[in-house]
Structure 1
C-alpha cells in the first residue's frame, strides 16, 4: 500500500514536469512568432531568409519600398535578381539590384542573413552569387532593415549598450539610381544598366568630377562623355538645376538658383530620383500628380552637349545637318573615322605654326563660342598686348581677350588675357554665353590668294565666292558675313538663308531653308539662269554622308553648287601676282581680267594658268632620243600585252574544259542551288544565276564567314545566346574574337525565307549604306546552313518598347519624334537616294531596330524588290507581308509601289504616337480599327485622345498633331493621294510646311477580333501561305 507521502511526492513531480513542458512550448511559440514578425515586416536577422520559390518579400514600414526577387520587365528569359523597387509599382520601378552582374538562372534562390553575418544571394545548392563581404561575425544582434528611404541597412547592436552601428548600406553601394537621402561624394558612382532589360553594369557611369563639389562627369567606358561644367573664373558651367544639386548634396549645399526648373519644397524631394540611363543620359525624375514619372531635366540634351563632341579643333553646331566640322586651316586627324561619323580624334593643323612669327601666322576670329578651360591667364592692357604675347609663344594655340567693367570701389579697371597652350577643345558655335575666341593658324592655310575673302567665324570663303565688293569674284557676290555671330548667309531673290557648310573641293555649299514653304517647288530660291549657282539637292542634303551618332535634320538642308570661275578680275598687273603666267588685259566681255600668257591656258579647277608644251620646237638629239624612247616603250608594251593575252586565253580554255568535266555531276542535282552552297565562290555563282538580271550582282562585296567562326562566336548556338525566333528561324547573339558583338540570323530548312529571299537580302544590304538601315557584316553558306551576320542592336526592336507598359515610358516624345524622322529618312534613301530604287514591302515596328543611342534602323530586306529608274509600280501573284501593315491595293490586288511602303510607314507612325498595335486594337462602340479610331479622332478634333498617355508631360503638341496629320495622309486608300517619302520628310522636318487635310484611310472598320481574323493577312487568303507571312520577332537583334 502506497503511503500518502509517496503519493504527494508523485503529484509534486508530475506538476513540475507539466509546468516545465508548458513553459517550453510557450517559449518556442513566442520565438517562432518573433521570427515570423521579423520576416513579415521590414527586417531580417541572422539565419532568416527570403525564398524566391515562396515569393517572399520584405516591405519598408511605411510601405514605400519592397525587396525581393524579380525578373526585369521585358526580359524573355529566366534570369532572377534580388532588388529593391517602389512598393506597388506595376511594372516594377527598380532602384537597386544586388546581383546585377551575376543573375540566378532559376527560381530556387534565397536571400539570407548567413551565419557569418553577411547578406547573401544563394542558389538552391548554396552557391553564393552576391554578398555584402563584411567581416565574419557570429553576433545574434546583426540585422538588415529596409528603410522608407529605399536604403537597405545592415547594422549591429553593440553588446553592453543600446547603440547601433551601421556596417553596410545600399545607399553607399548604388546601381543606376540616386534616391533622396543619398549623398554624392568622390566615392559614389552610378552605373547604368546594360540595356532596358539587363541590369548588368552598362557603358555609362555618373560621378563627382575630380574638380570638386557641384562638378559632375559621365564616363562612357574609359572616355569622358559629358561634363557638367568648367572650374575656375573663365566661364561659368552649363547651369544645372539647383534642386538637382540640392538633392545630390543631401540637402546641404548652397547652389545658384535656376529659374528654368521649378524649385521643390523638402517634402516633394521624397518623390524624386536620379537615373543614369543606359543610353548615356543623367535624368532627373519626379512622381507627379498624374501618378507617372515625369522628366524634369536631363543631360546631355543634344549632340553638342557631349563632352568635346567634335574633338580638338573641331566645331560643333547641333542645328546643322552635319554637326561637326574642322576649323579653317585644320583637317580631320583620322579622315576615315571622321567620314564614318567618329569625330573623337578631332582635327589637326594643315601646316605648323610659329615658322616666321607674326609673318607666317594669323588668327581666326570665332564669335560666340563655347570653349574648354584655358591653360593660363594674365592682366593685359589691350588686346594687341594679348595678341603679341601669343605670337611670341610658339606653344600658344589661341587667346581670348576680355575687358572687365570698372569696379565701384577703386574706380580702376582690368582686362584679362586667356591663353591656350594645349589643343583647343569643346568648341561649340552660337553658344548663348559664348566668347570671341582667336585661334592661331598658318596664313598659307587660310589666304591662298590676295583675292580671297576673310574667313567668317568657322567658315572659309574660298575663291571665287564673295562676301564684299573688295574680295572674291563679284559674279559670286551673293554672300554676307555677320561679324557679330561669325555666320555666313546666302542671298537669293526669294530670301536670305544661313550657310551651314562650304566645300571648295567639290564646289558645293549647304544652306538651311527653314523659311521656305515648299523647297521642292521648281521656283524655290528663284535663282536666275545667269547665276553661277545651281540647286543640286532640294531639301535633303545627302544623309548617307552624315554621322550615325548625331541626328541629321532632313527636310531643311539644300545643297547648291557653283560654276568654275573665269580668270580673276583685275585693275592692274599687281592684282595678278597670285596667278603666275598671267597679265591684266581686257577680256572678250570687255572686263579686265588676269588673262593667261602665250602657251598658257586657264584651268578653272586649279584656279591657275597651266603651261602648254610645244613639241614642234623640240628638235635635235633631244627630240630624237624622245622619239626612240617612245618607240621602245611602245614595242615593250605590245609584247607584254601579247603575253598577257596568251595567258588569259590559255586560262579561259583550261577552265572551260574543267567546267565541262563537272557537267555530269551537276546534272545529278535537279536543284543546282543546293550544290552551290559549298563555298563563298559558289554562293557568288548562285547570286549571278539567271534569276537576277541587269547589274544586280555588280559591286557584291560582303565578307564571307566560316561556319566554325560563327559557331565559336555564338557558343555553338547556345540557348543563352538566343535573341528570338521567327518564321525564318532563330536569331543568336555572338561575339567575334575582337570583341565586336554580332547578331546571326540562321535560316532553318523550313524557313519562311527561301533561297531567293536569302539572295535578295545579301544583295540589297551589300549595296545599301545609310545610318537608318541595319548593317550587314557578312554571310555564311555551308551545307544546308544559310546565315546572315548583322551588327548587334542592343535595344532590340521598336515594338518591344512602344507596346510594353514599362518600357514605353523610356521613350519620351523627343525620342519618338526622332525615331519617326529616322524611319522616314531611311525609306527616302531606299525609294530615291540609293543607287537602286527599292521597295521594302514589309515595314513594321518589329522590323525597326534601335541602336545604343536609340537611332532607328530598318531591317529585314528579304521581301524587298528592286525597281528600275523609270518604274513606279509592279504586280505580283505572290502577296507577302504582315497583316495590319499592307496597303489595300497590295493586299487585295497584288499591286505594289513606293506608295505601299508609304502606307506601312503611316501605320507605324500611328502606332508609335498611340502606343497601340494596329492588329490588336478594337473599339467596340464603332467597330473601329486603330486607323479608324485615329481618323474619327482627327475629324472630331479630338486627336489628343489618340496620344499615348505616357507622353502627356513630354509631348510637343504641334509636332504631335503634325505626326497624326502626316500619318493619316500616308494611309489614305488611293495610292495617288498618299505623299512620297520626300514630301513626308519635308513635312515632318519643316516648321513652315503647309500640310494638306487627309482623306478617309483604308481599313477603318473591322470585325470583332477573332482568332481567324488575327491569322488572316488579306481579304484574299488563297494567295497566302504560312511560309509567305513574315513573323514579328519580339526580341531584338
Structure 2
C-alpha cells in the first residue's frame, strides 16, 4: 500500500512539474498502453500531437510530432524516418524503452536506452507542451522522476524553442539537423547543419561531408553574420559552453507564437514563425540568403540562375528526372543528351568535341592546374584525358581541368565578368547528330526571329502613331495652339514613355507665367509652382533650375522611372515639357505640401498627432519596400528626406523626386558613383565617404526620417552638443540609457502610443547602423513596424499584422530545360519548319489585309460630310478643339467626336418614332447618317 501511494505521489508530481495533466490515453503512454494508426496523444494545451502520419500522397506511415492547431500539417520530429511502416504498426513501452513495432511485431525503432530498467518500475511517456516527448521512470527513489530519454536530445530536421543543437563532450555525440529528402519524403536528405564546437559556429554540409556555409563565431549574443538574429524582440538566442557540453538554443519572448528552426530541403536553415493573418509560415531569416549559394543546388552539370533561383542544364545535357525538375527539385542534376560515357580513345578531336558555355561561374574546385602556351594545348590536354569533363583557359596560360561532375555553376548577369567553360560533348555520334540538329534549330530560330521582328516592327509603328494622336489630343485640351512637338524619343532613348507632353505655353497659362503667388516652395533642383488647367484641375509644376546640378540625364531618369512605377505612396507624374533650356515636370497636386513643412514648424507640428505620424511612417516604408522588392524594377531612391515626402489632402505620404534614383539588376543591390549628391544628414556613411550606395542606403535615410518625425528635430541642425553631435548619436545614447521616450516631441506626448513609439525608435536605430550589412531590408522593416503587441520590452515580442509580405520565398519565374533534337527527327523538323513559316506568313498577310481594310474604311467614313459638321475629335470643329477625357486618368480617349447637329439630324430631333427604349441612364434612339 505504501508503494502504491509513493507511485501516485510521483505521478502527480510529474504532472505539475512538467505542466501536463496526466490522463491515460490523453497525454501519456503507460506501460500497458500503445498508440496505433488513427490514434494520437496530445500535449495538455493541445499545441502538439504525436501519432502516425503519411506525407503527401504516400502510403508509408511515419511516427512523428506535429503542431496540432496549424492548418498545414507541420511535422517537427520523426522517429522512423529511414524505415516507414504500414498502418498496422504501433508504439508502446517494453522493458523501459519506447518501441515501434510493425505488423509482424518486429522492432522498427526504439529509444535504445542502454541502462536496465526493472520490469516492475513504472515507466511513462509524456508529450509536453513545448513539443518534447519524454520518457521517465516514476519508480525512482528520488523525489523527482528519473528522465530516461527525451526527443529534444535527438532532433531530426527541426528543433523547437528550448531544444538543443550541440556537442556532448563526455560521449563525443553531435546533434545535427538533417533535411528531408524532399517535401514529401522524411528520409534523410542531402543537407545537414551542426555546431562546430572548435570555432563556436554553425555549419551546413552537403552529403554530410562538403561544408558550404558557416556562420561567424558566437559573439556573446548572436552569430553576427546572420542579420536576422541581431537586435530583435522575438527570439532570445543562447550559446552554452561548459566542461560537459557546448550547445546552441533559443526561446521566444512570447511563447504563444508557434515557431520552428529547420534544416530545409532547399539547403537553407530557416527560422520561421506562424502568421495567422497569412495562414502560413513566415520566414524570419534564412541562410544562405541566396538559393544559388546552396551547394549542388542544381545537381551535377546544372546551372543556377541568380535572378530567379531556377535551374537549367549545360549545353548538351538534359534533366536526369523530368518529374523531379517539374516539381522544382533539381538536386538530381543533368545528364548528357545521349546516356553514354564520354569516349576518347581512337577518336579524332574536332571543333565539336566540346560545348562552350559562357557567362557562368566556375565549379567549386578544379582537379588539375597546368600552364600551357595556348588554348589549343589546354583543349587537347582535356580531350586526351578520358576522365576529363571540362576545361577553362585564360590569357595568362592557366589551364584548369575538371575530371568529376560539375557542381555549383551559376548563371551570371551580363554586367558581371564573363567566364567560359568548355564541357566535353560526348561520343562522335552525339557530335554528328548535334551538328545536324543545331543547324535545324538555327534555321528554325532565324525564321521565327524574322517573323517576330516583322510583327514587332509593325505593331511598334502602329502604337507610335496611335500614341502620337493621343498625345496631341491631351495637349489640346489645355488650349494649345500650333503644332504638337513630341519629345518621347529624346527622353526614353527610343522607348515609348506613357507620359503626356505639354507645351510651354500651356504651362505658362496654368501657372500665371510662374508667378510668385503660385510658388509652393523651393526644391533642391528648382522651384515648384501650383498650376490650374481649364476645368479647375490642379497640378504641381516642378521647374528645374539651370543652376541646380540636375541635367538632362537626371531629368530623363525621373521621367522614365516614375512612368513605370505605380504605388499609392509614390507621387504620380502627369506630364513633362522640354523647351530650350526649360525642363519641367508636372505632378499631381499635393495640397499639404511636404512633410518637413509640418514636423519642423512649432505650430503646424501640432496638426500631426501620433496616429497620423505612425500612418505616414508606414506609408513611406511601404513605398520604399515597393521600390526595393515589389516593383518591376529594383530601384534605389538615393535622396529620401522629409522634404521629398509629399502629403495629399488626407495626409497620405507620397515619395517624390526620383532625379537621383538608380535601377539595379539581378542580384546586385549596390553600386558606386564618383558624383556624391544629396543632403549629408540623410546620407549613409558609406555613400558620403566612398560613393557606395545600395538598397541599405535608402534604409539608412528612412531611419533618419523616422527619428526626425518622432523628435521634430533635424538631424543636420541638431545642437544638443552636451549629449551628442547629431540626432542619431543622441538617439543611440537615449536608447542605451533607457531614456528613449525623451526623444518624443512634446506635442506628441498626449496622443502617442508608447509601445508604438518605442518600436519605431528601435526600428529607426536598426536602420541607421554604421555597417550596411547590419541594417534590415525594407521588407523586414515593414514586418517589424506592423507587428502587433502592447510593448516591446524585454519580456514581450512583436507579432504579425495583416500586411505581412512573405519574403525569402523563391519565386519561380519559370525554368528552362534545353532539349537537343535528335538527328532521326530532322526530316520531321524540316517539314514542321516549312509549315510554321507558311502559317506565319499567312497570318501576317491576313493581319495586314484586315488592318488596311479597316484603315481605308475609317478614312472613307471621316471624309463624308455629315452636314459639314462631323469631325474626328482630333480635328478642330468650328474653330474649337474637342477631346473626350477620362475623368480618372487625364488620358485622351481615342473615340470619334460628333457634333450635336449631326446627331439631331440623324435621330429626327430625338423623335418618339425613333425611340428604341429606356436604358438605365436614359432613352435610346435609332439614328441614320446620310
TM range (shorter): 0.3 to 0.5
Q: Give me the TM-score of the superposition, normalised by structure 1.
A: 0.32
Q: What TM-score does the superposition give when structure 2 sets the normalisation length?
A: 0.35
1 or 2 for the larger relative contact order (CA 8 Å, sep ≥6)? 2
